[in-house]
Structure 1
């Protein structure tokens, strides 16, 4: 195997590993946020400062350990983002506007997970030494930045959906139905922008439209996308092999 063949082999291998990293990040984050830190489902926005402080005291260890675990795992989301962008690049046949928008919005995604946890971990570190009002304020900032930040993700999935629809290849990179999955996710994420106005009801940070529907839709998307990326990488590898076999041999 020559150097070029070796590089191609690693290209496809790394893309497959990167696609699987999407599953890993979702699984680990889910365990940390739902079971360890217990920040999901979100607490009631109308809790008193004392209730918030008592909740954080009970979950202090889980919050801090979640921050440690997520510090190692969530950066792997960058691999997933880059592989998604690489496959979009095949559709645009270069680094076009849609692909570059996906790259830039995707780069922000891990920050949207980690930065809110930085704030919550800072509150949890000395939770019994700080006033309940300060703990409540830092918890508010956590949920505002974690749930509300999801709105930025709308742009990322919209451009991915558009790229899927405009793919004119005989064998498209992504199936057409995937475009509508992305558009649906963008729609259900949009209500997250309204959590700053409500402390109860479906548009509060623990509400049906601001949290539960987006959470379910994101789960579906985060399962479907890595599977489709794995299929797209296999397709790319097959196309490269066919092109190499069809190339004229120079004697």
Structure 2
């Protein structure tokens, strides 16, 4: 593969992260899943929600099925840039790659369960539909912890990039990734709380992590595109040489 095509494919892959992010916000808005439903809703309220928003929910799931695959090129290009930090495939790039490949399942499975609940709500009892709705929210918010090692591995790379005078991933992005990883941890406690800040609609398990995730999802393509531009110059022989003596 020639260098021009290689760089072009990397840029397209970085923009795939933007496509997924914008599409996800659109899909969840169409499905009336923003903000999250309260865990204390009665079974009758859950049934009413599924019936009233059936078309929106199913449209949301269909859009997400089309959009989630865009995460894969985004994950791969991120690992390719991490590989440059490590000087080859290493622990950080492989952790990011493996966790990034698994992470989309955190969308697919919960959304499939919600789609099944909204598909024919009239033939299921309120208890069954409530259980399916609960499963969706518990998996969707609780599984956010899958991303912890992924974002930490990317963030840590900004602190250990001693191969060049100017790190590929800036320090501020490293701190953002570190903080996001910490903020995702409370999601694990939604299984223990029906009310309060650690419930699936709570400020600690959902609200603050969502804001941090939005900031991270906007900044990551930006950082990646700058790193790809640096690699383009490097391949053309115009980049600043890596500080090999510092390794």
Query: Which position in structure 2 is the counterpart of 1:184?
Result: 179
RMSD: 1.4
Within the candidate set 84, 94, 100, 1:100 is matched to: 94
**TM score, norm. by length of structure 2:** 0.94
Q: Residues 1-251 of structure 1: matches in 2 within 5 Å? A: 7-33=2-28, 35-168=29-162, 169-242=164-237
Q: How many residues align?
A: 239
Distance 2:147 2:15 in 1: 20
Query: Which position in structure 2 is the counterpart of 1:249?
Result: none
The runs of 5 or more residues in structure 2 that have no matched partner are 242-247
| Residues 107-156 of structure 1: per-residue CA shift (max 9 Å, x gap) | 01211112111110011111111001000001111011100000111111
Please state how far the C-alpha of 1:164 moved relative to its aligned partner.
1.3
Please state how far the C-alpha of 1:103 moved relative to its aligned partner.
0.3
Distance 1:243 1:45 in 2: 56
The runs of 5 or more residues in structure 1 that have no matched partner are 247-251
Q: Which SS does the other structure have where 2:167 is aligned?
A: coil
Distance 1:183 1:243 in 2: 32
Please state how far the C-alpha of 1:243 moved relative to its aligned partner.
6.7
